[in-house]
Structure 1
Amino acid sequence: MATQKGKISVLKKFCPWVIGFAVVMALSSGQALAQTTAAEIQADAEAALVSGDPAQTVILANQLLEDNPDSFAALFLLALAQSDLDLPREAAASASRAYRAAPSEETRLQTARLAATAHFRAEQFARAEFWFRRAANHIATEEDAEAIVRGFQRAREANPITTQYTASIAPSDNINDGSDASRLCFENLDGTCFIELDLREDQLALSGLEYNGSASIRYRLSQTPRQTTTIGGLVFGQGVVFSDETETLLSESESEIVRDLEPSDFSAFLAQFSLEQQQTMFSPLGPTRIAYNYGRYWRGGDLLVDYHDLILGQIVPFEGGRSLALESSVRQQRAQAPGLIDSTIYDLSGSYQWRFDNRDVTTLTLAGKYNDASEESTFVEYRLRSDYAIGRQIFETSWSTFAEIGYRSFDEFSSTLDGRRDRFARAGVTAVFEEISYFGFSPSMTLFASRTDSDVSFIDSSKVSLSFGIASNF
């Protein structure tokens, strides 16, 4: 942390508050001291702090607290004095007590900021992040918000541990990514069907409710001006709730397997470990990213596959807030359930990002994938995606959108004689309602739609969902 010589007294940041509390806070100091005596001691404590004698302020503040342990003015003065005496842990504890005694939103904001700053100076970065989020509950101006965000980001950058959580729930007309068609067609050379079979009910698009959540943690193993190395873990879970229509459809099926299906059979779970290093010594263009992932994926409680990813990325920054990100990866995926096959998946993508003067951000991504598996499962895929985030709030709400189109081609496919070709599109818009905020989190809403059109009819599918979740404002 900063040396004593370079340390800027916390008093300079909070001095206007100290002077302003002189008489008003004396009224809340309790009745054990005579009102005039308490006001005089408080005034002497403030004067000592302003004149550069924080040790005397500590003595006088403790004198006030002997008769009124919940005196906000005494606790706030004590926290400021302890901070000036380079006692950040003690200052954080006193600021925490002052926060609980604070009489207004404005004083809660200041004491929460003081507690966060003290924890930061004590290198208790996770606690600092918590108190900056708590301070966000009391912001009243744009300047307050910017100060809280800057403080939180400093604490997060300094913290070797980073955590992130997501959660959402979404009504959907296709919770299982099922087919829009009802029959499976085996084609002749002329494209007509020589055999048609009814699809099982669980292969059709089923309506209901999707819910999911994820948690990730990253730990910075080492950091120098030329490299950063981190390890991390990720877990993701997804479940569904059948609609009445879906329950009726499945229960009336002629297949006993379908009638016995439960929502848990459509659940999914993923667990992943990662190791990543970002280097600046390999390329003169900008940071180079090297990463390794190992993960396992379950469906309906059964382990389906495990995989190993090797990722290489290059970031090329330009003037004006523009940047180019290139990434290539290879995944070795091994089947762990009967009926599945091993595959090797190659991915290549390039993203160009613009940042505009009005703080809008747009990203254009071009990507390709090659899935090397059995003859009927090998395919090539191309995708073009555009993301746009609006930098300014509209009706106190932040907005972002995306749109994607793609093409997928199979040379061989089980039900055709000339392969398979899919065209797909996805789009979504997300609104984060930042006027509603708790600990720096706000409710969000995402409208998502997708459609796949294929020359194999039972591959055709569509989906519309409206998900509700939470998003961090920092």
Structure 2
Amino acid sequence: MGLTKPALVAAACIFCQTAAAQQTIDIPIEEARVIATRALFAGDVELALQIANGLLRANPDDRTALLVLAAAAPRAGDPETGRKAGARAYALSQTDPQRYEAARLTALAAANQQRYTLATFWLRRALNVVPNEEERARTLRDARGLRNLNPWSTNLSFSIVPSNNVNGGAEDAEITAAGQVLTGTLSADALALSGLRATFAVQTQYRLFGTATDRLSLAASYQGARVKLEDEVVDDPTNPGAQVTLDADAFSFDAVEASVIYDRVLADSAVQLRWSAGSVDFGGDPYYDFTRFAISQRVPLSDSVDLQLSGRREWQYYESIGIRNVEATTFVAGLSYQWDNGNRLGGSLTLSQRDSESPNFNYDEWAFQSSFSFGQQLGPVTLGLNAGIRKADYPVYVLIGPVDGGRQDTTFFYGANVGFPDIEYAGFSPGLSISGSTAESNVSRFTRDSFSVGLTLNSAF
């Protein structure tokens, strides 16, 4: 008995099997779709697959049959077929609810293949067409669960920041220092320059193994910054009446790093060990290579109070013979308190020491920073605030000769992060990063002000 076009699904639609014989029944296509769907919901996966495949032989673009196949095939041990059927159903969907349904089924099939990154991609597509807040919360929970299962974890960030000091330059061209009579002036590229600073960072991490108590991972990261100057032709402070052309590429920054990370959960805390190696370039030229060892510990003191402790030792190997090598030691202690409404108050103290044969790279530093973040939206935005002070002491600092009493810097800094969670695409929402600092120094080259406002992109998972 053959298929008619397009009214009937023939032999492949329903198979009523007995020990003695196999019987074939023709039924209308619409009824076959209903039966396939009911069989799926009733848990009769084999029957649902048989009917769906029969429908698809009659019409390869039968969206209902593709959805049944997308849901049933993974249950039958064939997630690859289910994923491809879900993707095809998504392409054939005409409305957002249809796309949402197909995207979630495709994500589920991909997760069954343990292709967690691909499953996350399909959940992000589902978030674009989510029908209501309840389904949005459900999809976010699923995405966060996939993140925990996925051995790969990748984070991207970027910002485009207009600033009055994109190069960290000085306020005044005249060079002054305690105990010295200096007649020189700074070059134009050493003064504060206005413009745009674009930064990009990517970190990817792969979990080699993990148990309930420990985990070993490999990580790699890249950070880069590029500058566009407001004015590339500026007055030359070293030659009054003349101008000089600046090269924005001279202020570019690139850093790459590879790490081995070991995490362990103890009885009442969590500890992380991290070994890293990498290199830093400025202006397109190699600046220094480094190796670093770090240890950190998080200790919950109560349900609302966390203590964070960390220490690291870093060895920097500079390309410049004049700078030589630097060894840096840093300790950080932080405390945070979270209220029941999600508001969080934090504070941290950082102590650093750098040792080098070059006196200008030999100093002690301490910094205190406080932060406060609101746990709930304030109207259309989320808000986090921070402020702090940093003081550095160089026992010996040399310009033409040693500066009397060495060099001392005091920096006040502040910032705010504003998020707009109601503006969302694929689980990403925009934000604003506001930062500023004021530095005072007895060596004028390091007295500076800076302020910037940048665009950021935040992920909901």
Compute the TM-score of the two structures, normalised by the length of structure 1: 0.86
2:325 to 325, 333, 342: 342
Contact map agreement 2:178 2:443 (CA 8 A) in 1: no
Answering whether residue 67 of structure 2 is matched by residue 76 of structure 1, we say: yes
Answering whether residue 92 of structure 2 is matched by residue 101 of structure 1, we say: yes
- Taking the aligned partners of 1:465 and 1:165, their CA distance within structure 2 comes to 21
User: How do 1:270-309 and structure 2 match up within 5 A?
Assistant: 270-280=255-265, 284-309=267-292
User: How do 1:140-151 and structure 2 match up within 5 A?
Assistant: 140-151=131-142
Write the deviation string for residues 412-470 of structure 1: whole angstroms up to 9, x where unpaired: 22252112221112111122222222221122221111111123333210111111132
Read off the aligned partner of 2:380 and give its amino acid letter.
Answer: E
Contact map agreement 1:315 1:323 (CA 8 A) in 2: yes
**SS of residue matched to 1:401:** strand
CA 321–112 in structure 1, closer or farther in 2 if over 3 Å, else same? farther
**SS of residue matched to 1:421:** strand
Answering whether residue 210 of structure 2 is matched by residue 219 of structure 1, we say: no
Equivalent residue, structure 1, for 2:379: 395
Please report how far the alpha carbon of residue 126 of structure 1 lies from its aligned counterpart in structure 2 after TM superposition.
1.2
Answering whether residue 447 of structure 2 is matched by residue 439 of structure 1, we say: no
- Taking the aligned partners of 2:121 and 2:258, their CA distance within structure 1 comes to 26
Equivalent residue, structure 2, for 1:166: 157
Read off the aligned partner of 1:95 and give its amino acid letter.
Answer: G
Runs of 4+ in structure 1 deviating by more than 6 angstroms, as ranges, are none
Equivalent residue, structure 1, for 2:353: 370
- Taking the aligned partners of 1:228 and 1:162, their CA distance within structure 2 comes to 14
Please report how far the alpha carbon of residue 338 of structure 1 lies from its aligned counterpart in structure 2 after TM superposition.
4.1
Read off the aligned partner of 2:379 and give its amino acid letter.
Answer: F
2:82 to 91, 100, 103: 91
- Taking the aligned partners of 1:247 and 1:314, their CA distance within structure 2 comes to 50
Write the deviation string for residues 127-146 of structure 1: whole angstroms up to 9, x where unpaired: 11111111111224332222
Please report how far the alpha carbon of residue 81 of structure 1 lies from its aligned counterpart in structure 2 after TM superposition.
2.2
Equivalent residue, structure 2, for 1:4: none
2:442 to 455, 460, 464: 455
Please report how far the alpha carbon of residue 63 of structure 1 lies from its aligned counterpart in structure 2 after TM superposition.
2.6
Equivalent residue, structure 2, for 1:426: 413
Read off the aligned partner of 1:417 and give its amino acid letter.
Answer: D
Gaps of 5+ in 2: 10-26
More strand by share: 2
Contact map agreement 1:285 1:315 (CA 8 A) in 2: no
**SS of residue matched to 1:32:** coil
Answering whether residue 251 of structure 2 is matched by residue 266 of structure 1, we say: yes
- Taking the aligned partners of 1:231 and 1:370, their CA distance within structure 2 comes to 28
- Taking the aligned partners of 2:93 and 2:377, their CA distance within structure 1 comes to 31
- Taking the aligned partners of 2:368 and 2:133, their CA distance within structure 1 comes to 37
**SS of residue matched to 2:129:** coil
**SS of residue matched to 2:102:** helix
**SS of residue matched to 2:425:** coil
Range moving further from structure 2, 442-451 or 43-52: 43-52
Answering whether residue 192 of structure 2 is matched by residue 201 of structure 1, we say: no
Contact map agreement 1:253 1:259 (CA 8 A) in 2: no
- Taking the aligned partners of 1:219 and 1:50, their CA distance within structure 2 comes to 37
- Taking the aligned partners of 1:467 and 1:371, their CA distance within structure 2 comes to 31
Read off the aligned partner of 1:273 and give its amino acid letter.
Answer: A
Alignment size in residue pairs: 435
- Taking the aligned partners of 1:253 and 1:327, their CA distance within structure 2 comes to 45
Answering whether residue 219 of structure 2 is matched by residue 232 of structure 1, we say: yes
Write the deviation string for residues 2-25 of structure 1: whole angstroms up to 9, x where unpaired: xxxxxxxxxxxxxxxxxxxxxxxx
Contact map agreement 1:222 1:230 (CA 8 A) in 2: yes
Equivalent residue, structure 2, for 1:19: none
Equivalent residue, structure 2, for 1:8: none
Please report how far the alpha carbon of residue 43 of structure 1 lies from its aligned counterpart in structure 2 after TM superposition.
1.7
Contact map agreement 1:186 1:196 (CA 8 A) in 2: no
Please report how far the alpha carbon of residue 260 of structure 1 lies from its aligned counterpart in structure 2 after TM superposition.
5.6
**SS of residue matched to 1:194:** coil
Contact map agreement 2:162 2:196 (CA 8 A) in 1: yes
Contact map agreement 1:33 1:67 (CA 8 A) in 2: no
CA 145–445 in structure 1, closer or farther in 2 if over 3 Å, else same? same
2:38 to 41, 47, 50: 47
Please report how far the alpha carbon of residue 396 of structure 1 lies from its aligned counterpart in structure 2 after TM superposition.
3.2
Contact map agreement 2:185 2:238 (CA 8 A) in 1: no
